[in-house]
Structure 1
Amino acid sequence: MSVIEGKKAKEILKKAEFIAVLTGSGISAESGIPTFRGNDGLWKKFSPEELSSFEGFYRNPAMVTEWYRYRRKIILGTKPNPAHLALADLERIVTEFYLITQNIDRLHQRAGSKKVIELHGNIMENYCIKCGKVFDIEEFDCVYEKFEDHVPRCECGGYIRPNVVWFGEPLPEEAFSEAYKAAVNCEVFISIGTSGAVRPAADLPRYAKYNGAYLIEINPERSYLTDIADLWVKGKAGEVLPQFVEEVKKLKGMK
């Protein structure tokens, strides 16, 4: 059974050479990454604001640092799922492709995707809040081991925090600008595993639609985008995306 239903959808995907994709936490959850805190009792007693806000970090930097080390360990123990791999494959068959993600796990890059726009940063990097110096995982761990209070600090004396967007913080201007350009210029926009409720990322599919793009949603359940989508492919990304990409290849006459 085809996942690309309708003559119009097939015609558009056959000709499309500029595709933009937005992914949310749903695609990472299929790799075993909890959407936020999961069911681990160690962290359930804390609110998201305590663990993922600058105010929470300022009040208890050791706790927030440990929380992100814990999350990073979980992520490093996972691997890209078939949906991540299918998107890397899709990138190779069109002229212009941008993968906009709200996820911080870098599974898209590990799957082979090249043009990835990270709206919420990435958990594999940290930076000094005073001088801006960036630390990769190995550099951060070396600094971390030097401080018995588990609050790593830069040579300049500034605290080192995860390179992610916290509650109350704006998205990186350059990343969102690049994502916006992709949305308003693409021929097809595909939203995957996102509720369509968290702005400003949720505005991107709408920008694409209003500028003439064919909007496709891939989600197991209805979202805030379903009613405006031109095509809703119901199902988990890891189950339907590989077939979706194979069908696009056939439409384009590829093997």
Structure 2
Amino acid sequence: MRITVLTGAGISAESGLATFRASDGLWENHHIEDVATPEGFARDPELVQRFYNERRAKAAAAKPNPAHEALAWLAREHDLTLVTQNVDDLHERGGSAQVIHMHGSLVRALCAACGQRWDAPMVMNVTDPCPFCGKQATRPDIVWFGEMPYFMEQIWEALEQAEIFAAIGTSGNVYPAAGFVQHAARSGAECIELNLDASANAHDFDRRILGPASQTVPEWVASLG
């Protein structure tokens, strides 16, 4: 069975990681425009590097939960495309070998000058030279507001081929991910939402399973056989 799954902050929240955007518009007590935009990085690169160093450390200390592990099992039994909006590596540490990080990853670094990518150290500094071009233009390999998400062509293709599309722990507020369900539905997929509460685009899904991901995802995976 061909299945495409999109995961969001809700699945990582059960491992103790803060969701991206709180109700007050802050992320870990920082204005999002200061730590999640190219303009914020240009204004204060030291703040941004320090912020993501803290996120990287917290992500490294977190442990995968049963939802991550259930999706890894699903990939072994079915033709699964796993897409995540999350920048942590909990899916990989939970056993998933192939994960599409559409918003980048904390464990990767990017050169803003030459565009090369490499494995990030635990602590990054604004003075770190790019190992390829030598320029001091190292930044987290994170897709910030105003930047294009990664692997979109591959994601659209997976949505078009899916027999089942499932969104897990997503808000339904952030595009283009919020439009994935409509794209999958137009291609004939059964669309399922697994969430703690109904998302902003809950009406676009064929059915909804509410509850904590660490409980609902293993149960849903088991139901697929």
Same fold by TM-score greater than 0.5: yes
1:37 positional shift: 7.0
Return the match for 1:91 from 47, 63, 75.
75
CA distance in 2, matches of 1:115, 1:156: 31
Contact 2:127 2:136 in 1 (8 A): no
Could you tell me which amino acid in structure 2 is paired with residue 136 of structure 1?
D
1:104 aligns with 87
2:134 aligns with 156
1:43 positional shift: 5.3
Question: Where does structure 2 lack aligned partners over 5 or more consecutive residues?
Answer: none
The one-character-per-residue Cα deviations of 1:98-122 (angstroms, maximum 9, x if unpaired) are 0011001011111111231111010
Pairs within 5 Å for 1:1-255: 17-36=1-20, 44=29, 46-94=30-78, 96-138=79-121, 141=123, 144=125, 151-154=127-130, 156-172=134-150, 175-249=151-225
Greater helix content: 1
1:224 positional shift: 2.5
CA distance in 1, matches of 2:85, 2:112: 22
Question: Where does structure 1 lack aligned partners over 5 or more consecutive residues?
Answer: 1-16, 145-149, 250-255
The one-character-per-residue Cα deviations of 1:17-44 (angstroms, maximum 9, x if unpaired) are 10110101110111100013779x9952
1:7 aligns with none
Greater strand content: 2
Could you tell me which amino acid in structure 2 is paired with residue 120 of structure 1?
H
| Aligned-residue identity in percent | 39
Contact 1:120 1:165 in 2 (8 A): yes
CA distance in 1, matches of 2:11, 2:38: 27
Aligned to 1:104, the other structure's residue is in SS state coil
1:132 positional shift: 2.5
CA distance in 2, matches of 1:73, 1:115: 23
| Structure 1 vs Structure 2 CA RMSD | 2.1
CA distance in 1, matches of 2:27, 2:102: 28
Structure possessing the higher radius of gyration over alpha carbons? 1
Q: Mark the CA change 1:213 to 1:81 in structure 2 (over 3 Å): closer, same or farther.
A: same
Question: Please, what TM-score do these two structures have when normalized by structure 1?
Answer: 0.81
1:158 positional shift: 3.3
Contact 2:67 2:213 in 1 (8 A): yes
Equivalences, count: 221
Aligned to 1:112, the other structure's residue is in SS state coil
CA distance in 1, matches of 2:55, 2:21: 9
